[in-house]
Amino acid sequence: MLKKERQAYILHQVNLHNKVLSSSLCTEINVSEDTIRRDLYELAEEGKVIKVHGGALSHSFNQVYFPINGVYSQSQKKSIAQKAVGLISDGMFVLTSGGTTIIELARSLPPQLKATFISGSIPAILEYMHHPNIEVILIGDKISKNSKITIGTEAIAKIKQMKVDICFLGTNAIDTEHGITDNDWDVVQLKKAMIESSKKVVCLTIAEKINSVQPIVVCGLDEIDMLITELPADDPVLKPYVDAGIEVL
């Protein structure tokens, strides 16, 4: 069998089944595994396949596109995210809500971090999936098309079964009187469950949302362990929260 022929066969198989194993190919074509590996290497060089440990994957199926729309206050959110990643270390179990701040957090994760991220937010999950070393656990249930997050009793029950190290909440509104408030009943139920199931609750928000109120209460200030904004920790706006016993970053 000619080399090109062999490579054509391999490529064909990859395109057909989205995945091939070196081991099965070498028995099919009856050549050594080294030859297969070299073929896969060459095909990968040409961008025809994606080489992985043990075989190869098709290129077309493997890339999930995701929209990069203009995020509001992106630079502030980036700086919040960078403060937040410092709280995550190897081996941790991390629960996150949805929201653009969380997305920024996901994008800011250092590539060598090995942790487990749990979420019901589709955009967040997409980001986590691109990370090489983190495990991703998806909370299932009905999807809310508005918030792009899974909502419902199943999701809440699943969250309540857990006890994770840390939980990051993208926050819509926070003030000293009511604590965290939001405007979507289902999302609030989820966040409540998340807070209950976490050893540490970290609230991420841009300064703009501080001291604003939304209709539905998520939790009081006493349930929040940390508050992260783009402001320096000693900014006067944050003083009431420090006084309430929240660690501010």
Partner DNA sequence: TAAATTCCTGCAAATAAACGCAGAAAACCG
Partner DNA sequence: CGGTTTTCTGCGTTTATTTGCAGGAATTTA
**Which residues of the chain form contacts with its own copies (CB under 8 A)?**
2-5, 8-9, 11-12, 15-19, 21, 24, 48, 50, 52-55, 57-62, 64-67, 69-73, 99-100, 120, 122-123, 125-126, 128-129, 135-143, 145-146, 148, 150, 154-155, 158, 172-173, 183-184, 208-209, 212, 214-215
53 lies in the binding site for DNA (CB under 7 A)? yes
57 lies in the binding site for DNA (CB under 7 A)? no
Q: Which does 6 bind (CB under 5 to 8 A by kind): DNA, its own copies, none?
A: DNA
Ramachandran angles phi, psi of 148, nearest 5°: 55, 45
Tokens 């420090």: give the residue. Answer: 242
209 lies in the binding site for DNA (CB under 7 A)? no
Among 15, 28, 37, 148, binds DNA (CB under 7 A): 37
Beta strand 164-170 with 198-204 is parallel
Q: Which does 33 bind (CB under 5 to 8 A by kind): its own copies, DNA, none?
A: DNA
73 lies in the binding site for DNA (CB under 7 A)? no
Q: How far apart are CA 172 and CA 174, in angstroms?
A: 7
Are 25 and 38 in contact, with CB atoms under 8 Å apart? no
Q: What is the CA radius of gyration of the chain?
A: 23
Are 42 and 3 in contact, with CB atoms under 8 Å apart? no
- What number of residues does the chain have? 249
Cβ 2 to its own copies shortest distance, Å: 6
- Residue 22 tokens read as 């070196």
Q: Which stretch binds DNA (CB under 7 A): 1-9, 79-87, 97-105, 199-207?
A: 1-9
Cβ 166 to its own copies shortest distance, Å: 19
41 lies in the binding site for DNA (CB under 7 A)? yes
Q: Which does 162 bind (CB under 5 to 8 A by kind): its own copies, DNA, none?
A: none
Q: At 153, which helix (H) or strand (E)?
A: helix 153-160
Q: How far apart are CA 120 and CA 57, in angstroms?
A: 27
Going by C-beta distance under 8 Å and a sequence separation of 6 or more, which residues neighbour residue 5? Answer: none
**Rule CB under 7 A: which residues touch DNA?**
2-3, 6, 21-23, 31-35, 37-38, 41, 51-55
